[in-house]
Amino acid sequence: MNNHVKKYTAITGASSGIGYATAIEFAKRNKNLILIARRESQLETLKQKIAELNPNLEIIIKICDLSQADNVFSLFKQLDSYYIETWINNAGFGHYGSVKDQDLDKIQSMLHLNIEALTILSTLYVHKYHHQSGTQIINISSRGGYTIVPNAVTYCATKFYVNAFTEGLAQELRQAKAKLTAKVLAPAATQTEFGQKANNVNEYDYNKSFSQYHTAEQMAGFLMALYDSDNIIGEISTKDFSFTLKDSILPYSGNAAENQKS
């Protein structure tokens, strides 16, 4: 790749919460941005804020409902002419409620967004950038993807998928000596619009539901620490809410001790 090619960081779900705060962190690092979500007005506000912070950056806005697979393929195609050095799959939502009572329209949309869109975008990104130095894919999962949270079983299951897929992809890329690295961020409770959407309410008080939580800005700071590191996982401890960088959490059977021939 020509070193003078203009580079971009793409962030899905940049219109609020962790994605919005992460866009500001990348702007502080002089990164041109591709901001993706459904709500254009929020993305325009963010673009304006970044322009005041760092007027030299190019900020591309893409309006896309990622819960529709056709849109996901078409989005990646539309971005073909940009050199994307970092891709962040952050868009996602949760659902609080028992499986017995869950609304399947919402659940199907969650499966499409949290699992299908993330898998399609990760795969297309790997196809195109696996041999490009300095490239990264960061998938936003959850601590709820390493432990089952009562009343959030289906959401947690989507994030178990994200953790398994991304840890596995990271191992696969390392073994293939690819130049692209894959990483996963596993936040715990973070004050964003997540609580409202997971509970189907217009207002949600994090103080009433959690004794501890992070702000979106703190979580974006942890994401940057993961981005700067050579580790695969950035995880929040649900015990003391500390942030730790790790190389693996899930068992991995890619070795002779696990009955695999090399």
Ligand X SMILES: NC(=O)c1ccc[n+]([C@@H]2O[C@H](COP(=O)([O-])OP(=O)(O)OC[C@H]3O[C@@H](n4cnc5c(N)ncnc54)[C@H](OP(=O)(O)O)[C@@H]3O)[C@@H](O)[C@H]2O)c1
Kindly state the DSSP code that residue 114 receives in the 8-state scheme: I
Binding flag, residue 140, ligand X (CB under 6 A) = yes
Smallest CA-to-CA distance from 8 within 126, 113, 29, 18 is with: 29
CB 176 to ligand X: min, Å? 27
Binding flag, residue 152, ligand X (CB under 6 A) = no
Enumerate residues 171-210 that contact ligand X by CB under 6 A. Answer: 187, 189-190, 192-194, 197
Number of residues that bind ligand X (CB under 6 A): 32
CB 187 to ligand X: min, Å? 4
Nearer to ligand X, 64 or 178 (CB): 64
Nearer to ligand X, 114 or 178 (CB): 114
Residue 72: CB atoms within 10 A of its CB come to 23
Nearer to ligand X, 14 or 180 (CB): 14
Among residues 9, 27, 31, 92, the one that binds ligand X under rule CB under 6 A: 92
Smallest CA-to-CA distance from 184 within 215, 229, 150 is with: 229
Which segments within 141-221 are labelled E, that is strand? Answer: 181-186, 190-191, 214-215
| CA–CA separation, 140 and 137 (whole Å) | 10
CB 98 to ligand X: min, Å? 19
| CA–CA separation, 232 and 251 (whole Å) | 14
Q: What are phi and psi for residue 21, nearest 5 degrees? A: -65, -35
Pattern 10-49, ligand X, x by CB under 6 A: --xxxxxxxx-----------------xxx--x-------
- 247 and 160 Cβ atoms separated by less than 8 Å: no
- 10 and 136 Cβ atoms separated by less than 8 Å: no
Enumerate residues 58-77 that contact ligand X by CB under 6 A. Answer: 64-67
Residues forming contacts to ligand X in the complex (CB under 6 A) are: 12-19, 37-39, 42, 64-67, 90-94, 113, 140, 142, 187, 189-190, 192-194, 197, 216
